[in-house]
Chain A
Amino acid sequence: MDMRDRIKEKLQGKIKDWQEKSVKRIYFSIDKNDIFKVAQVCFKELELRFITATGTDMPEHFEMLYHFSNDPAGEIFSVRVLLEDKLKPEIESITPLFPGAEWIEREVWELLGINFKGHPNLKKLLLGEDWPENEYPLRNKSDSNNK
Chain B
Amino acid sequence: MSHKIIVPIGPYHPLQEEPEYFQLYVDGEKVVDLDIIIGYNHRGIEKLSESKHFDQIPYLVERICGICSSSHPYAYCLAVENILGTEAMLVPERALYIRTIIDELQRIHSHLLWLGLAGHFIGYNTVWMWAWKYREPVLDCFEMVTGNRNNYAMFKVGGVRRDIKDEDIPILKKMLDDLIPAADLFRGAIMDDPVIKSRLKDVGLLTRQQAIDWCVVGPTARASGVNIDIRRDEPYGAIDRLDWKVILEKEGDIFCKTVVRILELYESISIIRQSLDKLPKNAPIDAEVKDIPGGEGIGRVEAPRGECFHYIKSDGTNRPIRHKIRSPSFMNVASDKVSAVGGTISDATLTLAAVDPCYCCTERVAVINKVDNRKVMNGWDLIKLCQEKTLKLKATLSES
Contacts and interface: CB of A to CB of B under 8 A. Distances in A.
Given A67-B298, A99-B337, A103-B330, 15 more contacts: A21-B296, A22-B82, A25-B298, A51-B300, A51-B307, A52-B331, A56-B313, A56-B321, A65-B311, A71-B233, A74-B233, A74-B234, A99-B213, A100-B334, A127-B39
Contacts of A126: 38-39, 42
Interface string A47-60: 00111101010000
Contacts of B15: none
Given A21-B296, A56-B321, A100-B334, A124 B39 contact: yes
A71, A78, A128, A138: most-surrounded residue (chain B CB, <10 A): A71
A124 B233 CA distance: 34
Interface string B261-295: 00000000000000000000000000000000001
Counting chain A residues whose Cβ lies within 8 A of the other chain, the interface size class is 35 or more
B322 A127 contact: no
Given A22-B85, A25-B298, A128 B234 contact: no
Contacts of B309: 51-52, 67
A98 B42 contact: no
A142 B215 CA distance: 36
Nearest to B229: A71
A67 B311 contact: yes
Interface of B is mostly: mixed
A76 interface: yes
Interface of B: 38-39, 42, 44, 46-47, 82, 85-86, 212-216, 227-228, 230, 233-235, 295-298, 300, 307, 309, 311, 313, 321-322, 324, 326, 330-331, 334, 337
A25 B334 CA distance: 27
A6 interface: no
Where chain A touches its partner, the secondary structure class is mixed
Contacts of A67: 298, 309, 311
A97 to B, nearest CB: 9
A25 B297 contact: yes
A87 B337 CA distance: 34
Q: 9 tightest A-B contacts by CB?
A: A100-B215, A74-B234, A126-B39, A52-B326, A54-B324, A74-B233, A126-B42, A56-B322, A100-B214
B86 A22 contact: yes
Given A21-B296, A25-B297, A67-B311, A137 B215 contact: no
Given A22-B85, A127-B42, A52 B324 contact: yes
B172 to A, nearest CB: 29
B209 to A, nearest CB: 10
A103 B215 CA distance: 11
A106 to B, nearest CB: 10
Contacts of B46: 138
A24 interface: yes
A21 B311 contact: no
Nearest to A107: B330
Interface in A117-143: 124-128, 137-138
Contacts of A1: none
Contacts of B296: 21, 27
A99 B321 contact: no
A72 interface: yes
Interface string A17-46: 000011111010000000000000000000
A102 interface: yes
A49 B39 contact: no
A124 to B, nearest CB: 7
A101 B214 CA distance: 8
A25 B337 CA distance: 32
Given A24-B234, A49-B228, A125-B38, A54 B86 contact: no
A50 B226 CA distance: 14
A33 to B, nearest CB: 24
A52 B46 CA distance: 14
Contacts of A50: 215
A23 B47 contact: no
Contacts of A99: 213-214, 334, 337
Contacts of B82: 22, 25
